[in-house]
Amino acid sequence: YLKISKLALAFAIIHSKPPGKSSKEYTEYLAKSVSEQDFGWKWKVEVLEAEVLRLRQELLLNRISPRFCLERKPDTSAETLLGQESINPMNNSSQLEDSGCDVSNDSAFDSLGIASDFHQSEHNVNTSKHWLERVPPLNLCCTSKEQSLTAPVQFLQHLLEIRKLSEGGILQADFSELENDSFTICNSVSQLLDGLTVFYNSPKFPVPNFLTEAVCVLISLITDTKLSNHVLKKCFKKMQEFKKNLIQIILRNSSVNRFQALHSVSQTLGLLGRNNILRNSLISLLLLEVRQFAEQLLQAHQVQSVYDITQYENIFPLCMILEQLLQNETQESNISSSDYEGEEKIKFLKNLDQIILHLSDEFPLFSLYLWRVNVLLNSGQMQ
């Protein structure tokens, strides 16, 4: 039946082809027309899916806190976040075109302007009017990458605002509704993480305000004691995938002016590690990558083969993040270091002394980092 159908279609194309065109040219023209129609339908489906998600988000917010949805100002445009980009551009000098060398700023996210924004977003609220007026309404029908990232940010901002207002006794909120609608929260967080991954893969300097805002919202979400439980329980696998993507972005970046971009990704990983659950899993991922690279470097050194100098340079941000997370782990007495004493720690420590011994002459800085991590894993403190 399939062969007969194909043969009938071939005859139909031959008989209906316009004069001056070959059967092959006419077939290619028809195929292109059909593919364009498919693309149009796909775009319409994406718009409808975005509208469905927008309605589900509005419904979820209304169930959590009806008063919040009623009192939100309806005349604030959905492009508010993007409009601030041209009105109030960030003037931090470190956001100028990167020379590829200057990463001396040790303050978390100072080079991105994120640290001040993150701390500012944690200030206490005194009146509901201030919060309700500054939060824009949801709009998921977006036409650009910036707007597609803004959409989930706005929804998650609403959750954070409701959380703060309810904590201050200004609004009544029922966050148990998040348990009844896991699709909406998971989809929104997934969109946010995918959007951040896209921009970290192709970073722009100076860093756009909407990216700064997106990182602040993500960190606020996973550090909020009430919301993080709902989010991590439903989106832990997605968060794991996001962390793996950030690690690979650091390792594989080979552009000349890459160091400021790597610094920003490193700071995001470090902030994710503030969460106890994410910290332990992130330590395991970093132990895996550093161990694998150390073994590859040792093998290349023993046979005197060429090693990837770019990856060697990129491994140091991961070593610094790993050391920072292990130090934070040991400084918090209420957290047991046994959480990450699993398979990855055993593999990392196996033959580590021999690796350090063989690499110390040729690669002293990397060997020093391996030794420092070794001390932290074994004794729980730097010596």
Using one digit for the tens of pLDDT, what is the confidence trace for 146-158? 666 778 898 999 9
- Whole-number Å distance between alpha carbons of 57 and 60: 5
**Predicted local confidence at residue 146, as pLDDT:** 66
- What pLDDT is attached to residue 305? 85
Q: Residue range 167-190: average pLDDT?
A: 85
* Average of per-residue pLDDT across 369-383: 76
pLDDT tens, 312-332? Answer: 999 999 999 999 999 887 766
- Residue 6 CA: distances (Å) to CA of 15, 22, 186, 307: 14, 18, 44, 54
Q: How large a percentage of the chain has pLDDT more than 90? A: 21
**What average pLDDT score do residues 135-145 get?**
45
Residues 327, 382 contacting (CB under 8 angstroms) = yes
Q: How confident is the model at residue 69 (pLDDT cuts 50, 70, 90)?
A: low
Give the helix/strand (H/E) hosting 219: helix 209-223
Q: Which of 185-199, 244-258, 287-301, 336-350 has the lowest mean pLDDT?
A: 336-350
Give the domain ranges of the chain.
150-238, 275-333+340-382
Instruction: Give pLDDT, residue 365.
Output: 94
**Other CB atoms within 10 A of residue 228 CB:** 17
Query: From CA 201, how far away is CA 192, in angstroms rounded?
Result: 14
Confidence of residue 144 (pLDDT cuts 50, 70, 90): low
* Percentage, residues of the chain above pLDDT 70: 74
Return the H-helix or E-strand segment holding 138: none
Taking only the tens place, the pLDDT of each residue in 195-213 is 899 888 887 777 778 888 8
The more confident residue out of 9 and 312 is 312
Alpha-carbon distances, residue 22 vs 16, 30, 184 (angstroms): 11, 12, 51
pLDDT at 122: 44
- Residues 357-383: what's their mean pLDDT? 84
Mean pLDDT for 223-237 is 85
The answer for residues whose C-beta is within 8 angstroms of residue 327's C-beta and 6 or more apart is 376, 382
What is the chain's mean pLDDT, rounded? 76
| Mean local confidence (pLDDT), 346-361 | 90
Mean pLDDT for the stretch of residues 285-292: 93
Whether the per-residue pLDDT at 63 is higher than 70: the answer is yes
More confident residue, 19 or 383: 19
pLDDT at 166 over 50: yes
- In the chain, the largest separation of any two C-alpha atoms, in whole Å, equals 85
Compute the residue count for the chain.
Answer: 383
- The pLDDT of residue 192 is 92
For the ranges 28-37, 243-252, 325-334, the maximum mean pLDDT occurs at 243-252
Query: Can you tell me the distance from the alpha carbon of 337 to that of 120, in angstroms, rounded to the nearest whole number?
Result: 32
Which long-range contacts (C-beta less than 8 Å, at least 24 apart) are formed by 343-347? 344/283, 344/284, 344/287, 344/288, 344/291, 345/284, 345/287, 345/377, 347/287, 347/288, 347/291
